[in-house]
Amino acid sequence: MNWRSTARDWAPPALLRAVRTVRGRGLRFGGRPRDWAAALAASTGYDASLIVERVAASSRAVLAGQGAYERDSVVFQEPAYPFPLVAALLGSALKCGGALSVIDFGGSLGSTYRQCRPLLDGVRPLHWHVVEQPLFVRAGQREFATDELHFDAALSDACSARTPHLVLASSVLQYLPSPWQMLDELEGAGARHLVIDRAPLTPAPDDRLCIQHVPADIYPASYPCWLLSREKLLTRLASRWRLVCEYPALDGAWRTEDGQPFEFRGFTFERIA
């Protein structure tokens, strides 16, 4: 089974990725499965079609003016901007003559696009390609695609439309069976800038595979999750990318059930080779 089919079946989409922001409500990271197959066997999975509909309903509400933005199926009434990401987007556009083409890997139904768009008014032209699971892509193409916002089921499809200026991987690498392989593929998209956001990082030299448990009152599910080594990430990218900035992500700092610390972080990189 290749990574695409596994990710399609198991990588939690936006709704479940966001429950980390609900502190103190039973979210847990635990276990030490020996490999991805064992982690899958110890997980329950989730109902993808239900999650897509929840995210779609929230996105419709925002488009109807019933909220400022949507994140992970939750509608927020007051604007909130991910300023480190907006700075990266504007910086990339500035170096590309005012144009911007983004590949948003794992970008749900365009949540980040809509959240950032009010601050990108001077960017022309803007093309934002979300690469997602097939259920999201079908919903996106059916209801939410525009001249700027596009939905693709494969990275190669997004790249064939136009070479991206910036690749965004937000809260997604940790849910893939081979995150480093996927990172290699994202690097190969040819973008000048790379943003990795909301990635759970440990100070340890090696990654750790665990099980993320979602409390039943949010959504009864559990699924594999990598806690990635910060040292490994930066070392792996150092020969080809310059680190522009590192910042704390909105998900904050956590500990696993057995006490291992980790923190969600974000990074902006610029290609040097």
- DSSP assignment of 179-239 equals HHHHHHHHHTT--SEEEEEEEEEESSSS-EEEEEEE-TTT--EEEEEEEEEHHHHHHHHTT
Check residue 26 and give its pLDDT.
67
Say if CB 119 and CB 149 are below 8 A apart: no
Domain residue spans of the chain: 3-7+32-46+81-271
Of 91, 1, 7, 98, residue with least CA distance to 45: 7
Instruction: Provide mean pLDDT across the span 100-105.
Output: 98
The yes-or-no verdict on residue 5 having pLDDT over 80 is no
φ, ψ of residue 224 in degrees (nearest 5): -65, 145
The yes-or-no verdict on residue 44 having pLDDT over 90 is no
The yes-or-no verdict on residue 14 having pLDDT over 60 is no
The yes-or-no verdict on residue 3 having pLDDT over 80 is no
Burial class (CB in 10 A: 0-12, 13-18, 19+), 53: middle
User: Under DSSP, is residue 29 helix (H, G, I), strand (E, B) or coil?
Assistant: strand
The yes-or-no verdict on residue 113 having pLDDT over 90 is yes
pLDDT digits (tens, 9 = 90+) for 221-266: 889 999 999 999 999 999 999 999 999 998 899 999 999 999 999 9
Question: Sign of the C-alpha dihedral, residues 20, 24, 27, 28?
Answer: positive
The yes-or-no verdict on residue 43 having pLDDT over 80 is yes
Check residue 18 and give its pLDDT.
47
The pLDDT mean for the chain works out to 89
Instruction: Provide mean pLDDT across the span 159-168.
Output: 96
Q: How far apart are CA 102 and CA 114, in angstroms?
A: 13
Instruction: Provide mean pLDDT across the span 59-77.
Output: 87
Tell me the CA distances in angstroms from 46 to 40, 216, 257, one per residue in order. 12, 12, 22
Instruction: For residue 197, name the pLDDT band (cuts at 50, 70, 90).
Output: very high
What token pair was written down for 181?
């392989």
Check residue 205 and give its pLDDT.
96
Neighbour count for residue 234 (Cβ, 10 Å): 15
Of 256, 266, 246, 254, residue with least CA distance to 199: 266
Q: Which residue has the tokens 């990588």?
A: 11
Q: How far apart are CA 191 and CA 124, in angstroms?
A: 18
Instruction: Provide mean pLDDT across the span 82-87.
Output: 96
For the residues of 118-172, what is the DSSP string, one character each?
Answer: GG-TT-SSEEEEEE--HHHHHHIIIII--SSEEEESSHHHHHHH---SEEEEES-
Q: How far apart are CA 66 and CA 246, in angstroms?
A: 34
What token pair was written down for 26?
């039973």
Q: Which residue has the tokens 């081979």?
A: 178
Q: Does domain 3-7+32-46+81-271 have CATH number 3.30.200.20?
A: no
User: Under DSSP, is residue 74 helix (H, G, I), strand (E, B) or coil?
Assistant: strand
